[in-house]
């Protein structure tokens, strides 16, 4: 079963969008996939989610 994903608008500067698009192209990802990858890596690094993708209880209890 696929997880449901929320849709939301993202305001971003043209320069940042261009840089992200090039980075995504370099890694054979869509720009959406690249942004999701970068966010996931940042969340893992700061231990805000577990490696399986679920939020850690420490941070989810604080929200």
pLDDT digits (tens, 9 = 90+) for 14-37: 999 999 999 999 999 999 999 999
Q: Is residue 25 part of a domain?
A: yes
Closest Cα to residue 53, out of 63, 62, 43? 43
Q: Is residue 43 part of a domain?
A: yes
Q: What is the mean pLDDT of residues 33-61?
A: 81
pTM strictly above 0.85? no
Quick one: pLDDT band at residue 3, thresholds 50, 70, 90? confident
Q: Is residue 8 part of a domain?
A: no
Q: Is residue 6 part of a domain?
A: no
Q: Please give the residue range of the domain that contains residue 28.
A: 14-61
The structural domain count of the chain equals 1
- Does the pLDDT at position 57 exceed 60? no
Structure tokens at 40: 């996931």
- Does the pLDDT at position 55 exceed 80? no
Backbone angles phi, psi at 10, to 5 degrees: -125, 120
Q: Is 40 helix (H, G, I), strand (E, B) or coil?
A: helix
Higher pLDDT, 1 or 44: 44
Q: Is residue 38 part of a domain?
A: yes
């Amino acid at each position: 079963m696929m997880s449901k994903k929320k849709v939301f608008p993202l305001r971003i500067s043209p320069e940042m969008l261009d840089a992200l698009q090039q980075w995504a192209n370099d890694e054979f990802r869509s720009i959406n996939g690249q942004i999701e990858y970068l966010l996931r890596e940042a969340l893992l690094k700061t231990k805000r989610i577990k490696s399986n993708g679920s939020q850690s209880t420490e941070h989810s209890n604080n929200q």
